[in-house]
Structure formats: structure tokens, C-alpha cells
């Protein structure tokens, strides 16, 4: 009995040593991947700045590359041949790829988004007319947007890539198109002059880009002027609100009134009409 136990002691000792070494390697590899990830994040926000849009994906790739190497080394501690392991991982990768097509599509879409740059961090975008907000992060699988009301949207990269992307921040300037209503009978030429004067005196309107006011539409209760002016894209929403308020105040000061739709209700009393000589409706 003692001899049989002593025969297994070297095997047990080797297993314990390999197991302990594997645990140490695993912990060290995971720790190194986290440290390298944090270091990459710090480097990305220093004077040697990396592209902040691509930074989350770069960190993810670096961390998982280190972790995969760590797992291969750990398995080799138990006698698993590296060549056969890589072949097994390749076969497993095909199977996993078929099972996780959506996930792989998100990764591929993330790479395309970072390569072609239809949107970048801190830009205000609309995605497929469903999602709108400021880009916080383009990650390995997901894109995050922050809406103006403080709500964070998380959208799969594949959905972003397959949708129409409207980028409101890519160009430095953006044009305001503001419809202004006038009543029929108002002096249109004077109204246009008043609005052009308002734009000329507005310091936030970019003067080297064309600003104009013109008649664009006729409606039942009045005509529509279109006011166009260029402002900084970063200040678009604030300036749009300011110009809307200034236009209404200035027109009221000049005596222009806001067109109001009037609805007249006419009641017809058949009995009274018949008493006045009208023929009553025949009854069948």
C-alpha cells in the first residue's frame, strides 16, 4: 500500500506544481492585461494622444490578445500541445462564429465605423431617424450615445453601420432655416428688410457666408418667408432659439401680427328656412 502511494507522489507533485503555476500565470496574465488596458487609456488622454474614438476598441483588442495568450500558456502547463491547441481553437472559432454571427457582425461593423469615420466621439448624430445624441463611445460591440435629456442610448454596432447616419457636427458651421409667417396684406418688402437688418446686426451670425430672407410658400391664412443664416455648429440649437425669439419680437415692434386661422361656424335651421318660403325636403 505504501509503495503504491509513493509511486503516485511524483505524479501528484507534478500536478500540484503545474496547477499552481497555471494559477499564477492566469492571475499574472489577467493582471497584466488590465494594467496594459489602463496604461493605454492614460496614454490616449495625454499629450501623446491616441484617437479617442478608437481608444475603447484598441483597449479591448489589447486586453483580449494578452488574455488569449495567457490561456494558451496555462493549457500548455498541463501538457496540451500548442499546435493542436491552436488547431482546436480555430475549429472552435468557426463553430462559435456560426453561433454568434450577430456578435461578430458587431465587431466587424465597429471596425468599419472606426476605419471610415462616419461618426466620432463628441459628435452629435442621428442614426436611422431612431436614435439621436452625442457619441460617447464606439466600442468593440456597442456604440453609446447621450441624449440632450441626459439619457444614454446603447446601440449595437451592426445597427449603426446598416443605418443612415446624419452627422450634425462634422462641419464647423450649420445653416438655420427658419419659416416666418406673415398675414396677407402685410408689407412683404418691409418685413424682408426688417429681418435682413436683424441678421446683419446679430454678431453670432457668420458674415462671410450668405444670409437671406425670401418668400418660400403661400398658405390659406398667410405667406411664409424663409430666413436663412449660418452659425457655428456647436451653438446651433442655442442660436436657433435666440433668432426665433428675436424675429417675433422685432416683427411685433414693427407692427406685424402673427397670422391666426379663423374658423366660422354656420348653423342652418331647416324649419326657419322652410317658413321663409323654402321648400321642405321631401320624405320618401
Q: Is residue 209 part of a domain?
A: yes
CATH number of the domain within which 203 lies:
3.30.70.100
What is the three-class DSSP state of 138?
strand
* Dihedral sign, Cα of residue 6, residue 11, residue 12, residue 18: positive
Q: Is residue 54 part of a domain?
A: yes
Are residue 157 and residue 198 in the same domain, yes or no? no
Lowest mean pLDDT among 30-34, 162-166, 275-279: 275-279
Residue predicted with more confidence, 247 or 79? 247
Are residue 17 and residue 66 in the same domain, yes or no? yes
Rounded Cα distance, 46 and 37, in Å: 15
Boundary of a domain, candidates 44, 64, 99: 99
Are residue 162 and residue 231 in the same domain, yes or no? no
Largest CA distance in the chain: 132
Are residue 157 and residue 206 in the same domain, yes or no? no
Are residue 7 and residue 83 in the same domain, yes or no? yes
Q: How many domains does the chain have?
A: 3
Rounded Cα distance, 131 and 155, in Å: 8
pLDDT per residue as tens digits for the range 75-125: 777 766 666 666 766 766 666 555 556 778 888 898 889 888 899 989 999
Are residue 163 and residue 197 in the same domain, yes or no? no
Q: Is residue 72 part of a domain?
A: yes
In this structure, what C-alpha cell is assigned to residue 262? 379663423
CATH number of the domain within which 75 lies:
1.10.287.1260
Are residue 67 and residue 92 in the same domain, yes or no? yes
Q: Is residue 214 part of a domain?
A: yes
Q: What is the pTM of this model?
A: 0.61
In this structure, what C-alpha cell is assigned to residue 128? 436611422
What does the pLDDT average to over 32-54?
A: 70
Nearest to 24 by CA among 89, 73, 61: 73
Range of the domain at 34: 2-99
Rounded Cα distance, 106 and 142, in Å: 7
Amino acid at each position: 500500500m505504501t509503495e503504491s502511494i509513493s509511486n503516485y507522489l511524483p505524479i501528484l507533485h507534478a500536478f500540484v506544481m503545474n496547477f499552481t503555476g497555471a494559477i499564477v500565470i492566469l492571475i499574472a496574465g489577467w493582471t497584466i492585461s488590465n494594467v496594459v488596458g489602463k496604461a493605454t487609456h492614460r496614454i490616449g488622454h495625454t499629450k501623446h494622444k491616441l484617437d479617442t474614438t478608437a481608444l475603447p476598441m484598441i483597449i479591448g483588442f489589447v486586453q483580449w490578445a494578452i488574455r488569449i495568450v495567457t490561456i494558451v500558456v496555462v493549457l500548455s502547463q498541463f501538457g496540451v500541445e500548442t499546435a493542436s491547441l491552436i488547431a482546436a481553437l480555430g475549429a472552435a472559432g468557426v463553430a462559435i462564429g456560426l453561433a454568434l454571427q450577430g456578435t461578430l457582425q458587431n465587431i466587424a461593423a465597429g471596425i468599419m465605423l472606426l476605419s471610415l469615420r462616419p461618426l466620432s466621439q463628441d459628435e452629435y448624430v442621428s442614426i436611422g431617424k431612431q436614435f439621436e445624441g452625442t457619441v460617447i463611445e464606439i466600442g468593440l460591440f456597442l456604440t453609446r450615445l447621450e441624449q440632450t435629456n441626459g439619457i444614454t442610448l446603447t446601440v449595437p454596432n451592426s445597427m449603426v453601420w446598416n443605418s443612415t447616419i446624419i452627422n450634425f457636427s462634422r462641419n464647423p458651421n450649420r445653416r438655420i432655416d427658419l419659416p416666418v409667417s406673415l398675414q396677407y396684406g402685410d408689407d412683404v418688402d418691409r418685413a424682408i428688410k426688417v429681418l435682413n437688418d436683424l441678421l446683419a446686426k446679430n454678431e453670432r451670425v457668420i458674415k462671410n457666408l450668405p444670409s437671406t430672407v425670401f418668400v418660400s410658400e403661400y398658405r390659406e391664412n398667410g405667406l411664409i418667408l424663409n430666413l436663412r443664416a449660418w452659425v457655428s455648429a456647436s451653438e446651433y440649437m442655442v442660436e436657433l432659439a435666440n433668432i426665433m425669439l428675436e424675429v417675433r419680437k422685432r416683427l411685433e415692434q414693427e407692427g406685424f401680427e402673427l397670422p391666426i386661422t379663423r374658423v366660422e361656424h354656420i348653423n342652418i335651421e331647416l324649419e326657419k328656412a322652410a317658413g321663409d318660403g323654402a321648400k321642405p325636403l321631401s320624405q320618401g
